[in-house]
Amino acid sequence: MSQVLFEDGQFYREDKLVVGANNRSLRYGDGLFETMKVNNGQIQLADFHMERLFSGISLLQFECPSYFTADYLKNRILQLVHRNGHAQLARIRLMVFRGNGGLYDSVSHFPHHIIQSWTLPAANHLWNENGLVLGIHRTAQKTMDVLANTKTNNYLPYVLGALNAKKEKWNDAVLLNAAGRVADCTIANLFAVKGEKLVTPPASEGPVLGVMRRYLLEFCKSKGVDVYEQPLTELDLLEADELFLTNSSYGMRWVGSLATSTYCNTFSSLLYRDAIRPLFNAFKG
């Protein structure tokens, strides 16, 4: 079955060339993106995703026409997954980018946009039996500025981290910030468990502010779990009782090892049961 993508108001075959050599996103990374999950015909945590997306659109000073709203994008996402046969369980990538022009002479500030979808395996909804293997990436560092918390198209620290992880056969790599502390991982936010305390780096430390991170923080606070947004060092990770990662696709994954440290999943497995599994099941018929 031939798949399609959605680009600036039209559906096209997925192999359509959608940008040229003068495109500012290609030249400068001038844009941002959102990765979402469709579960049984509904976008999981859609409002959180749209809030983050439009915050980034405002930050990058796009000029949106009146029709370019959260509802417009959500409707097009659902149309796309139905056309591609992905409505049961799918990963969505929505990219917003500036068009052609040089650094000082953009043709316009219209939010050009591309939406793509891919089917996900049923195992995506399952807790990982074997703990992930993490490593620490040391070549590129995350900035701690106004752009650090947004998923911009300038993603080079994560690209280098992912290449590092693949070479070393890690499941993911921890990214450090300019101060040498923990920011996040290449495709996930990171949480550490020490005793009965749960900690993740705050926005000021430079992580992308993940939607699942936000959901889990709000869930824990509503249930009286001791959760904190505080800086984390490498030593904090090595001395933690547990580590786990979060992202919009798989929800949570527990970490089995980092360097010479190994971890259990006593707390994280219970949190997955109480917070993530009901979220995944919420849209089932």
Do residues 139 and 105 touch, judged by C-beta distance below 8 A? no
pTM as predicted: 0.95
269 and 137 within one domain? yes
Structural domain tally of the chain?
A: 2
Single-letter amino acid, residue 256? G
185 and 54 within one domain? no
User: Is 182 part of any domain?
Assistant: yes
User: Is 126 part of any domain?
Assistant: no
User: Is 125 part of any domain?
Assistant: no
CATH assignment of the domain containing 62: 3.30.470.10
101 and 139 within one domain? no
Do residues 79 and 174 touch, judged by C-beta distance below 8 A? no
Question: Can you give the pLDDT at residue 2?
Answer: 66
CA atoms within 13 A on the CB side of 229: 16
Task: Give the end of a domain, one of 120, 147, 164.
Answer: 120
Task: Give the end of a domain, one of 120, 153, 181.
Answer: 120
Q: Residues 6 or more apart from 67 whose CB is under 8 A from it?
A: none
CA atoms within 13 A on the CB side of 239: 8
148 and 109 within one domain? no
Angle, vertex CA 215, rays to CA 182 and CA 160, nearest 5 = 35
User: Is 115 part of any domain?
Assistant: yes
173 and 75 within one domain? no
8 and 85 within one domain? yes
Which DSSP string do the residues of 251-262 spell out, in sequence order?
EEEEEEEETTEE
pLDDT tens per residue, the chain (285 residues)?
Answer: 569 999 999 999 998 888 889 999 999 999 999 999 999 999 999 999 999 999 999 999 999 999 999 999 999 999 999 999 999 999 999 999 999 999 999 899 999 999 999 999 989 999 999 999 999 999 999 999 999 999 999 999 999 999 999 999 999 999 999 999 999 999 999 999 999 899 999 999 999 999 999 999 999 999 999 999 999 999 999 999 999 999 999 999 999 999 999 999 999 999 999 999 999 987 655
Do residues 232 and 175 touch, judged by C-beta distance below 8 A? no
Tokens of 260: 């010479």
244 and 106 within one domain? no
136 and 115 within one domain? no
Question: Can you give the pLDDT at residue 114?
Answer: 97
User: Is 127 part of any domain?
Assistant: no
User: Is 95 part of any domain?
Assistant: yes
277 and 143 within one domain? yes
Task: Give the end of a domain, one of 73, 90, 120.
Answer: 120
CATH assignment of the domain containing 252: 3.20.10.10
Question: Can you give the pLDDT at residue 284?
Answer: 59
Q: Nearest to residue 186, comparing CAs of 165, 211, 215?
A: 165
108 and 139 within one domain? no
Q: Nearest to residue 10, comparing CAs of 114, 164, 81, 83?
A: 114
65 and 39 within one domain? yes
SS3 30: coil
User: Is 258 part of any domain?
Assistant: yes
136 and 46 within one domain? no
Q: Which range of residues forms the domain containing residue 57? A: 4-120
Exposed / middle / buried, residue 175 (Cβ in 10 Å: 0-12, 13-18, 19+): buried
* Distance, CA of 78 to CA of 87 (rounded, Å): 7
User: Is 201 part of any domain?
Assistant: yes
* Distance, CA of 140 to CA of 38 (rounded, Å): 32
